[in-house]
Amino acid sequence: MTFKVDFKVRDYECDLQGIVNNSVYFNYLEHARHEFLAFKNIDFAALAEQKINLVVIRSEMNYRDSLKPGDEFYVEVETEKVSKLKFAFHQKVIRKHDKKLMLDAIVTGTSVNDRGRPFLHQEIEQLFS
C-alpha cells in the first residue's frame, strides 16, 4: 500500500532562486512519515514517553526537479524491513498537476531503547506483517 500526504509550497520555503530550498524537503518527508505512522496507529510521542525513540540513521535523497511557490504536491510513503534492526521509508515527492517526480528518497531508521541500544519495536514490526 502506498500512503500519500498532500502539501502546497509556501513562499517562505523558497530560497533566492525562487525554488524550494533543499533542506525543506527533509521537513516534507518527516511530516509524511509521521502522518503515515499515525495512520497506522503508531503514536510517535507515546513511544518517546516510554523511552522508545524512532531515529533516522541514514537519508538518501535524489533531487529530480524543483518545486516553486504555490505548487501542490504529495509525498508517497512505503516501508521496507531492511534487517533485524533497520527499516526504511521509500518516499517520493510528486507534483500534482503533471504527476512529475520531483524527489525520491530512502530514509533508514531504527528504534532505540533508553540506553540507546537499537532494536525493532513490536509496533514497528507490525508495519511489515
pLDDT (tens digit per residue) in 7-59: 999 999 999 999 999 999 999 999 999 999 999 999 989 999 999 999 999 99
Question: pLDDT (tens digit, 9 = 90+) per residue, 49-99?
Answer: 999 999 999 999 999 999 999 999 999 999 999 999 999 999 999 999 999
Domains of the chain: 3-128 (3.10.129.10)
pTM of this prediction?
Answer: 0.94
CB atoms within 10 A of CB 117: 10
Q: Which residues contact 63 (CB under 8 A, 6 or more apart)?
A: 22, 25, 102, 103
Instruction: Encode burial over 5-16: b for 16+ CB neighbours within 10 A, e otherwise.
Output: bebebeeebbee
